[in-house]
Amino acid sequence: MTQKSPLAWLGGKSRLADQIIERMPPHETYCEVFAGAAWVLFKKPESKVEIINDINSELTNLYRCVKHHLAEVVLQFRWMLVARDDFDRFLRTPADSLTDIQRAARFFYLAKSSFGAKIHKPTFGIAATGAPRLNLLRIEEELSDAHARLARVFIENRPFDQVLQRFDRPGTLFYVDPPYWGCEKDYGEGLFTRDDFARLAALLGACKGKFILSLNDTTGVRETFRDFRIEPVKTRYSISGTAKQEVGEVLITNFKPGRSG
């Protein structure tokens, strides 16, 4: 069932997902190593086995709660407003002082209401040119759709190297969407560093399965992943939600991509 991700996410692949999906080869197991908003998972047809992983435990907790405790998560939003005071109150509230369901609601609220969909040091997003990204009247609808899509998906919270090694087999297709080159700190300090690109390239070079890696088109990216097929593609993105610009990215694979139609 093709649908949208319920999350806004810095670097999310909402506009590039279709190009990634049409290049997917046949596979049995599908694994997103850096899931984020999981735009590709939500838009692609279901695979026999599906796994999404992210090192951010607040994100994976949200997905688990939507999968197992949908009604309770929706109930958290019953009396909320899209307000700077509520946003700042959530920022001041330590996540570890909340239940898992409260944590999920807090994270969803902050992710949907922050400027530029930033999750690391977020600020309240407000503009005179558009409605809030968080539509409180459609919370149940949006999360119900996500619940249905996640029903048969495994949700992991592990470092990328462990996930690549644990699920690698000839029938696996990995979608790999790490932080952009030059933007390694955008998701938090120390989660992914410049040196990790070389580690990632070495692990992908040893893959028994197949992978599609998406990154920004830079000299460093092309040099680090020079042993694989590199295909330039165009996409559009915006931080403010108003001024969109076309940018160059690359899709990197260890197979010759076909077009599944």
261 residues of the chain, pLDDT tens digit each:
457 887 765 555 778 899 999 999 999 999 999 998 899 999 999 999 999 999 999 999 999 999 999 999 999 998 889 999 999 999 999 999 999 999 999 999 998 888 866 776 788 888 888 888 888 888 999 899 999 999 999 999 999 999 999 999 999 999 999 999 998 887 667 789 999 999 999 999 999 999 999 999 999 999 999 999 999 998 766 554 445 566 789 999 999 886 543
114: left (phi over 0), alpha (psi -120 to 50) or beta: beta
Q: Which two tokens stand for residue 260?
A: 């599944």
Please give the helix or strand (H or E) that residue 27 lies within, else none.
Answer: none
Residues flagged as binding site = 9, 13, 54, 177
pLDDT, position 249: 93
The CATH superfamily assigned to 17-253 is Vaccinia Virus protein VP39 (3.40.50.150)
pLDDT, position 240: 47
148 Cβ contact partners less than 8 Å away, ≥ 6 residues apart: 1
| Dist CA 35 CA 252 (whole Å) | 17
The domain limits of the chain are 17-253
Residues flagged as binding site for S-adenosyl-L-methionine = 9, 13, 54, 177
pLDDT, position 71: 96
pLDDT, position 238: 52
3-state secondary structure of 99: coil
> Torsions phi, psi of 145, nearest 5?
-60, -45
Check: pTM over 0.95? Answer yes or no: no
